[in-house]
């Protein structure tokens, strides 16, 4: 499926309350179809400490966008890993079946989530710093700007306002480069 460059504004995505009452999620994209997604991008507001939902067969990527952050307790065999994550930390990846316990550090926290079916390919979520790029072919690519960002999307320079996801599932090989602003995150799915 080839598709032109697309943009999604977070402000147009209605918040959906979590079943456990711990927060709200705004889904930016469920690709290729909402009912049978391979890849899902969302921004969540965690309002209360509690367990994440389990997503068997899904790889999860998680980055803190705003707030003081969280402490995640990730099951790791017979033990539990404790990770403290704030807005300055790199994203983490974990098995969606793990359903870690999440403790808020000091009040609500907003986070970026990339979820991908395990059999779909290799996914990544990484912080984009000025000059960083996605180079070469990808099955799917995106850039989420949590702050106003200048981005070179192929030959086109674009200003993305805060809360914008730019994405494409065109298998073109042009580079995407963060030329200024931010913070921003690159998201990719490769075969």
CATH number for the domain that contains residue 106: 2.60.120.10
- Residue 54 sits in the same domain as residue 126: no
- Residue 46 sits in the same domain as residue 33: yes
**Is residue 109 a part of any domain in this protein?**
yes
Domain count for the chain, please give it: 2
Average pLDDT over residues 132-159: 94
**Is residue 135 a part of any domain in this protein?**
yes
Count of C-beta atoms within a 10 Å radius of residue 70: 21
Residue-wise pLDDT tens digits, 18-49: 877 889 999 999 999 998 999 999 999 999 99
- Give, rounded to a whole angstrom, the gap between the first and last alpha carbons of the chain: 14
**Is residue 1 a part of any domain in this protein?**
no
- What pLDDT score was predicted for residue 3? 47
Q: How confident is the model at residue 155 (pLDDT cuts 50, 70, 90)?
A: confident
- Residue 57 sits in the same domain as residue 127: no
Range of the domain at 168: 122-190
Whole-angstrom Cα distance, residue 63 to residue 173? 26
- Residue 39 sits in the same domain as residue 94: yes
**Is residue 2 a part of any domain in this protein?**
no
Whole-angstrom Cα distance, residue 77 to residue 74? 10
**Dmax (CA) of the chain:** 50
- Residue 107 sits in the same domain as residue 17: yes
Would the pLDDT of 133 be above 70?
Answer: yes
**Is residue 43 a part of any domain in this protein?**
yes
Q: How confident is the model at residue 173 (pLDDT cuts 50, 70, 90)?
A: low
Total-model pTM = 0.94
- Residue 130 sits in the same domain as residue 183: yes
DSSP 91: P
Choose the final residue of a domain: 96, 119, 142: 119
**Is residue 175 a part of any domain in this protein?**
yes
Residue-wise pLDDT tens digits, 69-121: 999 999 888 899 999 999 999 999 999 998 899 999 999 999 999 999 999 99
């Amino acid at each position: 499926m080839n598709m032109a460059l697309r943009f999604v504004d977070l402000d147009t995505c209605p918040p959906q309350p979590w079943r456990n009452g711990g927060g709200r999620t705004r889904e930016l994209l469920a690709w290729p179809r909402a009912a049978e997604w391979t890849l899902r991008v969302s921004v969540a507001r965690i309002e209360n400490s509690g367990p994440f939902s389990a997503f068997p067969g899904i790889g999860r990527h998680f980055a803190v966008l705003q707030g003081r952050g969280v402490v995640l307790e990730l099951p790791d065999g017979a033990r539990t890993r404790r990770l403290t994550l704030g807005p300055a930390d790199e994203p983490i990846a974990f098995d969606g079946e793990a359903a870690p316990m999440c403790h808020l550090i000091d009040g609500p926290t907003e986070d970026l989530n990339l979820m991908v079916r395990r059999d779909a390919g290799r996914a990544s979520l990484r912080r984009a710093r000025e000059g960083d790029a996605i180079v070469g072919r990808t099955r799917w690519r995106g850039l989420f700007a949590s702050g106003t960002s200048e981005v070179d999307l192929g030959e086109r320079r674009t200003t993305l306002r805060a809360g914008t996801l730019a994405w494409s599932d065109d298998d073109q090989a042009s580079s995407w480069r963060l030329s200024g602003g931010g913070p921003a995150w690159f998201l990719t799915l490769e075969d």
